[in-house]
Amino acid sequence: NHTILKLEYFIIADAKTLKPVNRKYKNKAYRAFIAVYADDIRLIDNIALN
C-alpha cells in the first residue's frame, strides 16, 4: 500500500503582495506555495525563495 500525492497547486508569488508572478526581477522577494493531497489529507506549505 503506497500513498499517491495529487498536486492541487504550486505558485511562486511576490513576498509582499502575495500575487502570483510569471517573471523574476532583481531586488524582489518571492515565496513558493504548494498544496497536495495525500489520499484524503490536504498538505499545504510555503517557503521563502531568497
| Amino acid (1-letter code) at residue 27 | N
Region 3-13 average pLDDT? 94
Q: Which amino acid is at 16?
A: K
What mean pLDDT, rounded, does the chain reach?
A: 94
**pLDDT, position 1:** 65
Residue 41 contacts residue 35 (beta carbons within 8 Å) = no
Residue 13 is which amino acid?
A
pLDDT (average), residues 3-20: 95
Beta carbons within 8 Å of 33's beta carbon, 6+ residues apart: 9, 10, 11, 12, 13, 44, 45, 46
> What is the pLDDT, as a whole number, of residue 2?
73
What's the whole-model pTM score? 0.84
pLDDT at residue 45, as a whole number:
98
Amino acid at 11: I
